[in-house]
Structure 1
Amino acid sequence: MNENFEDRDEVLDTVRRFERMLTNNEPVFFDLGDFENIIDHYTTHTQYDKALRACEAAIAQYPFSTELLIDRSQVLAMKGEYVEAAAQIEDVALLDPDNPDVAVTRGIIATQKGDFSEAVAYFLSALERAPDRDDIHFNLGLAYQSWQKFKSAAKYYKQSLRLNLDNEVAVQELLYCLEVSERLETNLEFFRRFTDDDPYSALAWYNLGQAYFRLGRYDDAVAAFEYAILIDGKFYDAHGYLASTYVNQELYRKAILEFQLSYEKDKPTAEALCNIGECHEKLAEWDQARRYYQKSIDLDETMDEAWFGIGIVLSAQDRNFEAIHFFRRAVNLYEESVEYWMALATAEYQVGNIVSAIECYDKATQVAPDNKDAWLNWSIILYEQGNYDGAIDLMRNAVEIQPAEAELHYRLCAYLLAAGRYREAYECLENALVLDFDKHRLLFDYFPELESQRALARLIDQYRK
């Protein structure tokens, strides 16, 4: 597939025209290069069903194109339809056995199936025939990354970018591999070299800015993104990243201005509008925040962050009953967010829906069992209901999952004391004091009356350094 887009705006226009023709049932006609760009656009954005539809339309127009048959096989592999993908590429191999894309596609199928050693062998075979193909180096990186061999993955992502700097996915995957292997700081020179070699490359400055952003070096990131924008004022992604950097610096006014420049004039994206809404939320400008969140939803009803944002705005205004509806829309769209479930649980609790709140905390701990706040908040509801044994059992579950989290031990100790189970409480307290002595003040924050218990004080003093 073609990884090089000379004009991204032109490609997007082609994609829109293709979609419009399909929607209106108009005859679809594009040249081969346009179809390649359409298919590549969809695969880059993991829209594999649309990519396959584009493949079918293209093959109907160019039935003897081996490139399109290869594209179709690769898309099928990405969709997990390995048998059909393999059958397709074997048909191509009969027609053109020396085509390096045959080996590449076999490698993609092997990667998707989890046969990483086999995948690497196929890609290396393809490199022997086409050593300067950036996409082959990229696929080698993906195979090694999926194999969790991050150092090898980074090596091939780097080579892919040396051959083609305009591969945003390769940049993101390289940054991830370097971050996971804790080698990003020592590899900054790789990104700097591109700006040294071509100081007028907006893309080089943009990629360097992303590396600084990942490292939390926000001032350096701002400078790099500003250089990219100075070179190319319509570099919308650079504006977006600059805005995100300002958000991390809590410079929300500046962030709003940059988010407003992160899309074409009069063509806002749902994501940008949602981000602007969040900035207004951070500034406690509730009406503006809700207005932008709603605009985001109007553009894309599946924007879960915007539904959640309106819920947050309403909760901040003590309108929890109204907030519940928006939090529920958010969790229905994205059930794997512990943040959404906890916000919904809090809102349900605030309006007196205790059973619903408990159900939400239960879901939150299923989604993220290592989130201590979900366990703590759930347990306090049980405690307030007088269900000491239930609170104790819940904390024991939490401690079993997170044995090194001192706060959980202190809370368990507090509940045991409240239930009159002193021997168990003191054993639990000893564990907590060993883990983190300084956090023993949490015990008295939960229950100030415990400070008067002499036995407790003596036990704590034994662990005082």
Structure 2
Amino acid sequence: MVSVKRSLIAATFVLTLHAQTPTQAFSDSRAQLPAVPVRPPVGPIGPEMRGDIFMARKMYREAVEVYSEGASKSAVMANKLGIAHHQMLELDAARRYYQAALKLDPRYSEALNNLGTIYYAKKNYRRAVSQYNKALKLAPGSASIHSNLGTALFARKKYPEALASYERALALDPEVFEHRGTQGVLLQERSVQDRAKFHYYLAKTYAKAGALDRAILYIRKCLEEGFRERELFRQEPEFAKLQEIDEFKQLLASEPRVL
């Protein structure tokens, strides 16, 4: 367990909002005030909203306390309670509450996905793939879950299948790999061991989709991370449109400092 926790310290989870379970956005006290006055909420703030406030402030222990008030009856609250534990790297507790959410609502795709991220964190990639596939049967239009499936397949070195999942995710949401949210009900996995190869496949995904600026960005990243097969950028058909772009030519001609 200690080794798992250490490996997770560098992991980054991205929480994305889901249309059926909206959360209240809260601005930082230092942020510029909006031009239009914001009306205070009508009536008392319930435990879910209070928990969301604590999550936005990264006060995860306090979020656990308030989400616990409704987790026994609400799948959404149980799932959010799992996420709060997950953010504190309490993986076994997180798993229990994702499973509790699924007992309350067996068709809760976000909880299925989040359970997949537990298996991924424990390096049980086969079970992670299984969970993501179950979630996608219920939510085939979720770009984040397709992205997670791709990352789990990548970890299993099933690169063509991973690329197909990334392409599907990008087709559903052009910003899926750029999300940096901190609230929500669905975890998006970002931790991989071979980041150079991971960024190569992201570059390939963006290039095939015609997002050439982002393709170049991820080519630069993978070269900085020590990717050595740079001839692939000239040979792979997905990169054909980049061949006449000066920035691309300069990038391949240079020797980026390996970070």
Question: Do they superpose with TM above 0.5?
Answer: yes
The residue number in structure 2 matching 1:427 is 246
Structure 1: distance between partners of 2:143 and 2:233: 33
Deviations 1:49-100 (A, max 9, x none): xxxxxxxxxxxxxxxxxxxxxxxxxxxxxxxxxxxxxxxxxxxxxxxxxxxx
Deviations 1:251-282 (A, max 9, x none): 11100111123x4xx96211000100111111
Which 5+ residue runs of structure 1 have no aligned equivalent? 1-168, 176-182, 192-204, 208-227, 229-234, 385-390, 433-439, 449-465
2:154 paired with 1:349: yes
Residues 82-161 of structure 1: pairs in structure 2 closer than 5 A:
none
1:370 deviation in Å?
A: 4.0
1:378–1:367 Cα change, 3 Å = farther
1:407–1:363 Cα change, 3 Å = same
The residue number in structure 2 matching 1:186 is 35
The residue number in structure 2 matching 1:396 is 207
Q: Please tell me whether the aligned partners of residues 200 and 219 of structure 2 are also in contact (alpha carbons under 8 angstroms).
A: no
Which 5+ residue runs of structure 2 have no aligned equivalent? 1-21, 26-31, 180-193, 235-241
Deviations 1:410-441 (A, max 9, x none): 369989953585x9488234788xxxxxxx99
Residues 272-283 of structure 1: pairs in structure 2 closer than 5 A:
272-283=77-88
Residues 250-329 of structure 1: pairs in structure 2 closer than 5 A:
250-261=58-69, 263=70, 268-329=73-134
The residue number in structure 2 matching 1:206 is 41
Q: Which amino acid aligns with 2:109?
A: D
Q: Which amino acid aligns with 1:185?
A: P
Q: Which amino acid aligns with 1:338?
A: A
Structure 2: distance between partners of 1:303 and 1:420: 41
The residue number in structure 2 matching 1:455 is none
Question: 1:250 is paired with a residue of what secondary structure?
Answer: coil
Deviations 1:106-140 (A, max 9, x none): xxxxxxxxxxxxxxxxxxxxxxxxxxxxxxxxxxx
Q: Which amino acid aligns with 2:75?
A: A
Structure 1: distance between partners of 2:219 and 2:133: 32
Structure 2: distance between partners of 1:325 and 1:355: 17
Structure 1: distance between partners of 2:114 and 2:233: 43
Structure 1: distance between partners of 2:149 and 2:41: 38
1:405 deviation in Å?
A: 7.3
Q: Please tell me whether the aligned partners of residues 196 and 221 of structure 2 are also in contact (alpha carbons under 8 angstroms).
A: no
1:331 deviation in Å?
A: 1.8
Q: Please tell me whether the aligned partners of residues 324 and 348 of structure 1 are also in contact (alpha carbons under 8 angstroms).
A: yes
Structure 2: distance between partners of 1:415 and 1:425: 22
Q: Please tell me whether the aligned partners of residues 147 and 169 of structure 2 are also in contact (alpha carbons under 8 angstroms).
A: yes
Structure 1: distance between partners of 2:108 and 2:125: 21
The residue number in structure 1 matching 2:217 is 407
Identical aligned pairs, as a percentage? 18
Structure 1: distance between partners of 2:60 and 2:222: 40
1:368–1:416 Cα change, 3 Å = farther
1:359 deviation in Å?
A: 2.2
1:362–1:378 Cα change, 3 Å = farther
Aligned-residue Cα RMSD (Å) equals 4.2
1:248–1:358 Cα change, 3 Å = same
Larger Rg computed on CA atoms: 1
Residues 376-387 of structure 1: pairs in structure 2 closer than 5 A:
380=197
Q: Please tell me whether the aligned partners of residues 277 and 293 of structure 1 are also in contact (alpha carbons under 8 angstroms).
A: yes
1:313 deviation in Å?
A: 0.9
Question: 2:36 is paired with a residue of what secondary structure?
Answer: helix
Q: Please tell me whether the aligned partners of residues 348 and 354 of structure 1 are also in contact (alpha carbons under 8 angstroms).
A: yes
Q: Please tell me whether the aligned partners of residues 409 and 431 of structure 1 are also in contact (alpha carbons under 8 angstroms).
A: no
Match of 2:170 among 365, 382, 385: 365
Which of 1 and 2 has higher RCO (CA within 8 Å, sep 6+)? 2
1:430–1:337 Cα change, 3 Å = same
2:48 paired with 1:240: yes
Q: Please tell me whether the aligned partners of residues 304 and 333 of structure 1 are also in contact (alpha carbons under 8 angstroms).
A: yes
Structure 2: distance between partners of 1:417 and 1:425: 16
Question: 2:106 is paired with a residue of what secondary structure?
Answer: coil
